[in-house]
């Protein structure tokens, strides 16, 4: 069955361009021209991935993303931003977007990014991690079920936060550079833009650390990256 992609952009030429190229790559497409329509179609049509423009009428991309995440909808979201909107990119990631692309972009680049994100999501569902359960202290992760618990409380993670957590726990007590994390979790080159890693680590810490200023699990290794430290049960 073809994967469904929701394309959200208020500029018709961009919607049509993305629609054509995604259909040529055997995807099914759903189109929305404003933020309110995007939320409605996400809930009714249940896409597998959302291409979400930042600047939209009625509800902007940030509010759409925030609304979906607050409703427990963790569909992967790739946010489309104008060149130079660095603050908006970071804000989008902080409230639950999985990735971003900067305009102008080529349709081929968009299709490649969509394939990469969907492939990672599919790999997560289809390939259980050896041993099935990852455990560190009060933190328990079931990769094959896509659930994580801190003590007995289930964590609400976006797809990328969950993938990042799994990768950390698979590589516990190892120092991981930001470039390593980009390659492993995002599966493509961000041309040195490692801020996406820092934003996701920060958001993940808020969910698993009792004190984010003195984290027990995810430690910062200055000048290099991060290390997930094993905790005793």
* Same-domain pairing of 96 and 132: no
* Same-domain pairing of 29 and 105: yes
Instruction: Return the pLDDT at 129.
Output: 42
Instruction: Return the pLDDT at 88.
Output: 61
* Same-domain pairing of 102 and 142: no
Instruction: Return the pLDDT at 91.
Output: 64
What total of structural domains would you count in the chain? Answer: 2
Domain of residue 34, residue span: 4-125
Average the pLDDT over 225-232 and give the result.
91
Lowest pLDDT segment from 28-32, 55-59, 130-134: 130-134
Instruction: Return the pLDDT at 126.
Output: 47
CA gap 173, 170 in Å, rounded? 9
CATH number of domain containing 35: 3.40.50.2300
Instruction: Return the pLDDT at 93.
Output: 67
CATH number of domain containing 197: 1.10.10.10
Average the pLDDT over 153-163 and give the result.
86
- Structure confidence by residue, pLDDT tens digits, 48-79: 999 999 889 999 998 998 899 888 888 889 98
Q: Number of C-alpha atoms within 13 angstroms, CB side, residue 134?
A: 23
87 pLDDT band (50/70/90 cuts)?
A: low
| 192-226 residues labelled b (16+ CB within 10 A) or e (exposed) | eeeebbbbbbebbbeebbeeeeebbbbeeeeeebb
Is the pLDDT at 83 greater than 70, yes or no? no
Whether 233 is in a domain gets the answer: no
41 pLDDT band (50/70/90 cuts)?
A: very high
Average the pLDDT over 196-211 and give the result.
90
- Structure confidence by residue, pLDDT tens digits, 91-128: 666 667 778 888 888 889 899 989 888 876 665 544 44
**Confidence (pTM):** 0.66
Last-in-domain residue among 90, 125, 160: 125
* Same-domain pairing of 156 and 102: no
Last-in-domain residue among 98, 125, 152: 125
Last-in-domain residue among 58, 93, 125: 125
* Same-domain pairing of 13 and 104: yes
């Amino acid at each position: 069955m073809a994967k469904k992609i929701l394309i959200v952009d208020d500029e018709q030429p961009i919607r049509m361009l993305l629609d054509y190229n995604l259909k040529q790559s055997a995807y099914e497409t759903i189109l929305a021209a404003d933020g309110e329509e995007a939320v409605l179609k996400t809930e009714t049509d249940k896409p597998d991935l959302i291409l979400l423009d930042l600047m939209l009428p009625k509800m902007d991309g940030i509010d759409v993303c925030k609304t979906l995440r607050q409703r427990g909808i963790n569909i992967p979201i790739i946010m489309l931003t104008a060149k130079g909107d660095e603050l908006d990119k970071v804000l989008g990631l902080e409230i639950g977007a999985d990735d971003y692309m900067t305009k102008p972009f080529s349709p081929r680049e968009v299709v490649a990014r969509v394939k990469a994100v969907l492939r990672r999501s599919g790999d997560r569902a289809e390939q259980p991690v050896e041993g099935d359960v990852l455990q560190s202290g009060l933190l328990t992760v079931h990769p094959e079920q896509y659930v994580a618990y801190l003590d007995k409380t289930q964590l609400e993670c976006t797809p990328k936060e969950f993938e990042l957590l799994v990768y950390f726990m698979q590589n516990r007590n190892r120092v991981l550079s930001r470039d390593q994390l980009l390659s492993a979790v995002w599966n493509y080159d961000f041309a040195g833009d490692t801020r996406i890693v820092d934003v996701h680590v920060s958001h993940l810490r808020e969910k698993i650390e009792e004190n984010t200023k003195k984290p027990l699990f995810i430690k910062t290794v200055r000048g290099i990256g991060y290390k997930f430290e094993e905790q005793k049960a």
